[in-house]
């Protein structure tokens, strides 16, 4: 985990992303910044991410994805340090953020925001 990378404007975890060459979304590393509404809006409003916005969650774009909404909601409720701590603990316990060769992982499997947040908070033992 590279805590200096933090989180993308949408809430995805740049700090644990398997793309080691990327500096992170908030450091201009987002490959989708040309079309990503979260990136543009966050920069325009001066927010660290969507979770700081009074209008959260917005409809459409990245916020249509359960994992993205859950991560941003977690950040809103618990903060960045708590999410990094949970992700780091879960990674040590074998919870995978990105499966090899792709950008899906264990956090994409739950069907609801609540299930994803439970996985973040408690690991596999209490996620389902």
Considering 35-39, 54-58, 114-118, the range whose residues carry the highest mean pLDDT is 114-118
Average pLDDT over residues 109-124: 95
Contact partners, residue 20, CB within 8 Å, separation at least 6: none
What ranges do the domains of the chain cover?
A: 3-126
Section 58-63 average pLDDT: 83
Residue 92: partners with Cβ closer than 8 Å, 6 or more residues away = none
Q: How much is the pLDDT for 118?
A: 96
Separation of alpha carbons 116 and 107, rounded Å = 6
pTM of the full structure: 0.88
């Amino acid at each position: 985990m590279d805590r200096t990378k933090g989180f993308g404007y949408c809430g995805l975890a740049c700090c644990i992303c398997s793309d080691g060459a990327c500096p992170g979304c908030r450091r201009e590393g987002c490959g989708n910044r040309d079309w990503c509404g979260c990136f543009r809006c966050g920069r325009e409003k001066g927010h660290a991410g969507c979770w700081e916005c009074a209008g959260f969650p917005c409809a459409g774009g990245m916020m249509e994805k359960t994992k993205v909404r859950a991560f941003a909601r977690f950040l809103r409720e618990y903060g960045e340090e708590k999410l990094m701590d949970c992700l780091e603990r879960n990674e040590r316990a074998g919870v995978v953020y990105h499966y090899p060769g792709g950008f899906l992982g264990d956090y994409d499997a739950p069907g609801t925001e609540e299930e994803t947040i439970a996985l973040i908070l408690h690991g596999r033992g209490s996620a389902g």
